[in-house]
Amino acid sequence: MTNFIQTVFKIGLFSIFTFFSQFSSADIDAELIDDMVQVNPLISLRSLETGVPLINGQYKDQRNFQWIISEVPASETTFKKAGLTQFRVPGLERCLYTIQNRLISESCDPKDEGSLWVIIPTVLGGVEIKSMRTNTCLSAGRKYNDYRLAPCQENEKITVSPKLLWFFSPASMPAKLSPAFPIAVIEKE
């Protein structure tokens, strides 16, 4: 008798699972995800040392603090190296660019190493951002909004200075508050 009950129980569970699995969103969502499509988010690039966003110098409004981060396919560069990045100025064909150890916004040509950067992760979430042209990293300077290039810290045994660390935050722009969630009222008996 127990084998009969176990069999009925298994069939029942299988039937329930089969019935509810047709309502699962996993199949629907799987069709919508295309991991081959590149997403280039709008970000603010902020110094971990100061919290100040890196400006692109092209606008007089909040767009001055915005960048579009985009991966550059290895086939488009002279390095043929994966993992290279550009920081693009929104609405313009200009990128964060290094020339003669200076930071400017200039050409986004992927064959020009001045616009190519490597993002070096750290264990705490901040990243170093290394120029392919100079092999130096983006660094906070001595003042509030002073940015410069400095030697990178790529030795895993040595702590990285916060001056060399950056984080990607949501783009600086006006926002609206989220609508309030309804508050459940619990009735007392």
Q: Is the dihedral of CA 92, 96, 99, 102 positive or negative?
A: positive
Give the pair of three-digit tokens for residue 70.
Answer: 């985009």
As given in the structure block, the two tokens for residue 35 are 């991991």
3-class DSSP assignment, residue 100: coil
Q: Say how far apart CA 55 and CA 15 lie, in whole Å.
A: 59
Q: Into which CATH architecture does domain 42-169 fall?
A: Trefoil (2.80)
Q: Report how far residue 40's alpha carbon sits from residue 42's, in angstroms, rounded to the nearest whole number.
A: 7
pLDDT of residue 144: 76
DSSP 8-state secondary structure symbol assigned to residue 53: B
Tokens of 126: 């901040």
pLDDT (tens digit per residue) in 14-68:
444 444 444 444 444 556 656 667 788 999 999 999 999 999 999 999 999 999 9
Which tens digit of pLDDT belongs to each residue from 99-150?
Answer: 988 999 999 999 999 999 999 999 988 999 999 999 999 999 888 778 999 9
Domain residue extents for the chain: 42-169
Are 168 and 43 in contact by the 8 Å Cβ rule? The answer is yes
pTM above 0.85, yes or no: no
Residue 12 pLDDT level (bands cut at 50, 70, 90) = very low
